[in-house]
């Protein structure tokens, strides 16, 4: 699943959780639902690391929450704690949405199942995957979902523009990586 798929499904779940009375900072959690890939994919392309790395580990987000809790208590800033668990919640949704193969549990629960991480099938699977119509459809559905949630939340024009900005930035980044590592093929 790519950015728009993640952001769409996560928007729906976060919106639901908030309606159930769970206090989160919605934009932070929504943005964080893309963070695991924002962190790990560039590391993969540039440094040959596994495609799911620190951003896809529960440990990382536990540390974020603990740091947030620590700062909140020491500096009497309860908002920092809410920020930190909103970040962790978004990332956790991403990790759950990514799940399709039990082998990924090694990464998600690292280091419970051993120190080594499962190796990636292909270093550029993430970049090449977009050619798969299945993913293209998911991306369309994701975009539609986040727009519907935005409308239900009564988003103003500025909020939609901000979302559009993030999506444009992502696609520029994605296509740049694509151009560098896969090459632009003109037939
Ligand atoms: Zn991911």
| CA of 52 relative to ligand 1 center, distance in Å | 6
- Give the helix ranges, DSSP H, for the chain: 3-19, 26-32, 35-47, 58-74, 78-98, 105-108, 125-128, 133-152, 157-181
Whether residue 109 is contained in a domain is answered as yes
pLDDT of residue 103: 81
**Please, are residues 40 and 100 in contact by the beta-carbon 8 Å criterion?**
no
Beta-carbon contacts of 99 under 8 Å, excluding residues fewer than 6 positions away, are 108
| CA of 34 relative to ligand 1 center, distance in Å | 8
**Residue 103: burial class (beta carbons within 10 Å; 0-12, 13-18, 19+):** exposed
| CA of 17 relative to ligand 1 center, distance in Å | 22
pLDDT of residue 184: 64
Total domains in the fold of the chain: 1
CA-nearest of 117, 55, 110 to 88 is 55
pLDDT of residue 152: 94
| CA of 93 relative to ligand 1 center, distance in Å | 10
pLDDT of residue 2: 78
| CA of 65 relative to ligand 1 center, distance in Å | 20
Whether residue 141 is contained in a domain is answered as yes
CA distance 179 to 173: 10
| CA of 18 relative to ligand 1 center, distance in Å | 23
Whether residue 75 is contained in a domain is answered as yes
Whether residue 186 is contained in a domain is answered as no
> Residues lining ligand 1 (ion), CB within 5 A?
36-37, 98
The residue written with tokens 């930190």 in the block is 84
Whether residue 187 is contained in a domain is answered as no
Beta-carbon contacts of 183 under 8 Å, excluding residues fewer than 6 positions away, are none
The residue written with tokens 């444009």 in the block is 168
Would you write out the chain's pLDDT as a tens digit for each of its 187 residues?
678 889 999 999 999 999 999 999 999 999 999 999 989 988 888 888 888 899 999 999 999 999 999 999 999 998 999 999 999 999 999 999 988 878 888 888 988 888 888 876 667 777 777 778 888 888 899 999 999 999 999 999 999 999 999 889 888 888 888 888 887 655 4
Whether residue 76 is contained in a domain is answered as yes
pLDDT of residue 170: 85
Domain hosting 130: range is 3-181
CA distance 180 to 21: 45
């Amino acid at each position: 699943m790519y950015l728009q798929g993640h952001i769409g499904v996560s928007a729906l779940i976060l919106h639901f959780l908030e309606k159930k009375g769970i206090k989160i900072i919605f934009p932070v959690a929504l943005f964080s639902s893309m963070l695991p890939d924002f962190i790990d994919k560039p590391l993969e392309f540039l440094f040959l690391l596994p495609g799911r790395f620190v951003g896809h580990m529960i440990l990382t987000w536990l540390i974020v929450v603990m740091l947030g809790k620590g700062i909140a208590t020491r500096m009497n800033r309860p908002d920092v704690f809410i920020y930190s668990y909103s970040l962790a919640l978004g990332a956790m949704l991403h990790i759950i949405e990514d799940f399709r193969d039990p082998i990924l549990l090694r990464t998600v629960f690292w280091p419970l199942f051993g120190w080594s991480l499962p190796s990636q099938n292909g270093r550029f699977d993430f970049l090449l995957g977009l050619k798969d119509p299945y993913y293209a459809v998911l991306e369309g559905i994701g975009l539609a979902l986040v727009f519907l949630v935005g409308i239900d939340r009564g988003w103003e024009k500025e909020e939609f523009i901000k979302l559009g900005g993030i999506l444009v930035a992502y696609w520029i980044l994605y296509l740049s990586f694509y151009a560098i590592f896969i090459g632009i093929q003109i037939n």
